Structure 1
Amino acid sequence: MESNQTPEPSPSHQSQSSEWQQDLINRLAFSALNEQRRTRRWGIFFKFLLFVYLVAILLLYTPSVDLDPGAKARHTALVELKGIIAPDEDASADNVITGLRAAFENENAAGVILRINSPGGSPVQAGYINDEIKRLRKENPDTPLYAVIADICASGGYYVAAAADKIYVDKASIVGSIGVRMDGFGFVEAIEKLGIERRLLTAGEHKGFLDPFQPAKEADIEHVKSLLSDIHQQFIEVVRSGRGDKLKDDPNLFSGYVWTGEQAIELGLVDEVGSSSHVAREVIGAETIVDYTPSEDFFEKFSKRFGTALGRGIGQVLSGGYQLR
């Protein structure tokens, strides 16, 4: 007679099944543990990357002054003002002032040379530097500051130079351009020919004044001229304050003209012919020159923001911008 009863698994079969289940549980547990470790490692890695990124940003936007060993002995301090004077440029007020402060703070600096090679730029940035030079000279009366002009010292560059004790040039240097300008364009006829409709919504009667896509209004032009005239007068007062009786009575002095170094000496805009090495050796009496100009590393140069520059350029085209030129 056959029996339908299922045979019970043997002890060895039960043991194998139990081992298999235990092995599966162990594998799942180890897999979960490894996944947690992997997640934690990636978390640490990304946190480290974020930390490095933040430190890099801090270093990039903090001007640094790297001095050579000569700074520990008597020397002449040198600070470069080179290029357009603007907030995002090498010749920004922050960079130049950082170098000047470091130079005046060093007791071994017998004198300071501000070497200028600039066509001008922002009147605000130039004003910041001019004011700081006056403050540093007042706090350090025994440390002279001389401006040495290289190829060009025009407009905003001369605005800065006017604060120095003396100004030295090369006979072929270009000096002057004491004036203010605002650039802009008019596209009124262009958009009419292209069939473009200009839509400008503003709150404020004159908020859209000097819009390049609309005809210029005489009242708006007169208002801007008054602004430029005011800034020009500020420029003139800074020059008169810095140069004093050295300036000659010439009707073209503040007209925006530029002159050679030799002509500028005759007009009283500058003092003498002389290079940085000449001033250090013959005037200050400390031939060793130490550069205090804040340095810009490779990463900072590489990270120049093209988008910001492009946006600023478009903004100037659309709204106009004044500069000391």
Structure 2
Amino acid sequence: MSNLDDGRPAEPTLGPPPAHPTVTPATPAPPSVDARVIEDFARGFLRDRRDDRRWRVFFRLAWLLLFVALAWALVAQQRGVSAPSGPHTALIDVRGEIDAEGHASAEALNAALRTAFDDDGAQAVVLRINSPGGSPVQAGLIYDELRRLKTLHKKKLYAVCEELCASAAYYIAAAADEIYVDKASIIGSIGVLMDGFGFTGTMQKLGVERRLIAAGENKGLLDPFSPLSEAHRAYAQAMVNQIHRQFIAVVKEGRGKRLKETPETFSGLFWSGESALQQGLADHLGSLDYVAREVVKAEEVIDYTPKENVAERLAKRFGAAVGAGAAKAISGAVGLR
């Protein structure tokens, strides 16, 4: 039989099927180094954004809570102040150092004194003093305002001295019509000092050179790192003596004939309350309650002392006046202490 094509389909033949090519799945190429860097950067960027959002939310909530706490504290403080009701004894505390930046500043105390004297229900005003002294300027401002208010309102002013009523504190107490003390109170110290430090010897030992450039021959007066000349010492002493004479005049004006002056009265010494009575620096033994009950005859005591608000307390706690102490320690301020 011929194998030539005769137009009929070819008959199937036995044998293995024709081979088909095997298709192997393509393996993805590993990412390049640049792609991995970009991917890591993108992931880190997204993570940082999420963290930033969380911190923003946290700080916003924190500020909100702080604001709410401040508002609540202020409202509570205002509700806690009892309004004067009828005849009473007005109290103002003079505590701690008498200083322009402290609680016992002229600005704070004078405002409270005006409120107390203006109140028709206040039968008298009592200064409860526990202070070692401080600024002669602040004490003078308070003293002058006390004298003015007493004359204006015709009200009695009493000073009740507790542990300490010394120097600038006694300067203020001298304005009172009567001074009450405890027998063990510390009273007096009618003097003025100007204190500081000199480091010239220490600097020489350490080999430190002081370089001070000033215009004006006295501009470096009392500089702690320069020697104190006799001319500067005499000038500072004259200024201290002048302030001392002002202090003495105030005490004599306030105490009048009750003062039993001795050579030691204005020497800067201090005495117990019992000895102060003997020298005419005080009038009677007594406490705040005694004065309100037995002297003023108004047993109810209303406190007019200025209170530090929450914002001021927080500002001080977080260091709003950090440098004040260091500057004061270096400058050597004049004080009645």
1:140 is matched with which residue? 153
Q: From 88, 98, 108, give the equivalent of 2:101.
A: 88
Q: From 125, 128, 133, give the equivalent of 2:138.
A: 125
Residue deviations 1:263-295 (CA, integer Å, cap 9, x gap): 000000010001011001100110000001111
**In structure 2, C-alpha distance between the alignment counterparts of 1:306 and 1:163, rounded to whole Å:** 37
Q: Secondary structure at the match of 1:84?
A: coil
Task: Work out whether 1:302 is the aligned partner of 2:314.
Answer: yes
2:121 is matched with which residue? 108
AA partner of residue 220 (structure 2): G
**In structure 2, C-alpha distance between the alignment counterparts of 1:221 and 1:202, rounded to whole Å:** 19
Q: Measure how far apart 1:88 and its partner are.
A: 1.1
Q: Measure how far apart 1:213 and its partner are.
A: 1.3
Q: Secondary structure at the match of 2:262?
A: coil
Structure 1 unaligned segments of length 5 or more: list them: 1-45
The answer on whether the counterparts of 1:148 and 1:275 sit within 8 Å (CA) in structure 2 is yes
Task: Work out whether 1:68 is the aligned partner of 2:68.
Answer: no
Q: From 320, 326, 336, give the equivalent of 1:314.
A: 326
The answer on whether the counterparts of 1:66 and 1:292 sit within 8 Å (CA) in structure 2 is no
Structure 2 unaligned segments of length 5 or more: list them: 1-59
1:271 is matched with which residue? 283
2:238 is matched with which residue? 226
The answer on whether the counterparts of 2:118 and 2:153 sit within 8 Å (CA) in structure 1 is no
1:36 is matched with which residue? none
AA partner of residue 295 (structure 1): K
Larger Rg: 2
Q: CA 1:133–1:303 in structure 2 vs 1: closer, same or farther (change >3 Å)? A: same
**In structure 1, C-alpha distance between the alignment counterparts of 2:185 and 2:288, rounded to whole Å:** 14
AA partner of residue 259 (structure 1): W
Q: Secondary structure at the match of 2:191?
A: coil
Residue deviations 1:30-76 (CA, integer Å, cap 9, x gap): xxxxxxxxxxxxxxxx9xx9xx99xx9xxx9xxx997414x121111
Q: CA 1:233–1:66 in structure 2 vs 1: closer, same or farther (change >3 Å)? A: farther
Q: Secondary structure at the match of 2:93?
A: strand
Q: Secondary structure at the match of 2:316?
A: coil
**In structure 1, C-alpha distance between the alignment counterparts of 2:322 and 2:243, rounded to whole Å:** 26
**In structure 2, C-alpha distance between the alignment counterparts of 1:307 and 1:105, rounded to whole Å:** 36
Percent identical residues: 51
1:239 is matched with which residue? 251
Q: Secondary structure at the match of 1:304?
A: helix
AA partner of residue 125 (structure 2): V
Task: Give the alignment's Cα RMSD to 1 decimal.
Answer: 2.6
Matches within 5 A, 1:33-72: 67-69=81-83, 71-72=84-85
Count of residue correspondences: 271
The answer on whether the counterparts of 1:65 and 1:293 sit within 8 Å (CA) in structure 2 is no
Task: Work out whether 1:189 is the aligned partner of 2:235.
Answer: no
TM-score by length of 2: 0.75
**In structure 2, C-alpha distance between the alignment counterparts of 1:196 and 1:305, rounded to whole Å:** 36
**In structure 2, C-alpha distance between the alignment counterparts of 1:276 and 1:323, rounded to whole Å:** 28
Q: CA 1:161–1:204 in structure 2 vs 1: closer, same or farther (change >3 Å)? A: same
> Which is worse superposed, 92-101 or 159-168?
92-101
Q: CA 1:239–1:293 in structure 2 vs 1: closer, same or farther (change >3 Å)? A: same
Q: From 193, 204, 216, give the equivalent of 2:228.
A: 216
Q: Measure how far apart 1:312 and its partner are.
A: 3.0
1:78 is matched with which residue? 91
AA partner of residue 89 (structure 1): G
**In structure 2, C-alpha distance between the alignment counterparts of 1:147 and 1:67, rounded to whole Å:** 23
Residue deviations 1:93-135 (CA, integer Å, cap 9, x gap): 1111111111111101111111100000000000010000000
Q: From 156, 174, 178, give the equivalent of 1:162.
A: 174
Q: Secondary structure at the match of 1:256?
A: coil
AA partner of residue 146 (structure 2): I
AA partner of residue 190 (structure 2): I
Q: CA 1:308–1:229 in structure 2 vs 1: closer, same or farther (change >3 Å)? A: farther
Q: Secondary structure at the match of 2:215?
A: coil
Q: Secondary structure at the match of 2:163?
A: strand
TM-score by length of 1: 0.78
Q: Measure how far apart 1:318 and its partner are.
A: 3.0
Residue deviations 1:132-181 (CA, integer Å, cap 9, x gap): 0000000011x211011011000000000000111001111100000001
**In structure 2, C-alpha distance between the alignment counterparts of 1:243 and 1:65, rounded to whole Å:** 40
**In structure 2, C-alpha distance between the alignment counterparts of 1:130 and 1:120, rounded to whole Å:** 13
> Which is worse superposed, 93-102 or 235-244?
93-102
Give the structure with the larger helix fraction. Answer: 1
**In structure 2, C-alpha distance between the alignment counterparts of 1:312 and 1:223, rounded to whole Å:** 26
**In structure 1, C-alpha distance between the alignment counterparts of 2:303 and 2:331, rounded to whole Å:** 39
Q: Measure how far apart 1:310 and its partner are.
A: 4.4
The answer on whether the counterparts of 1:66 and 1:295 sit within 8 Å (CA) in structure 2 is no
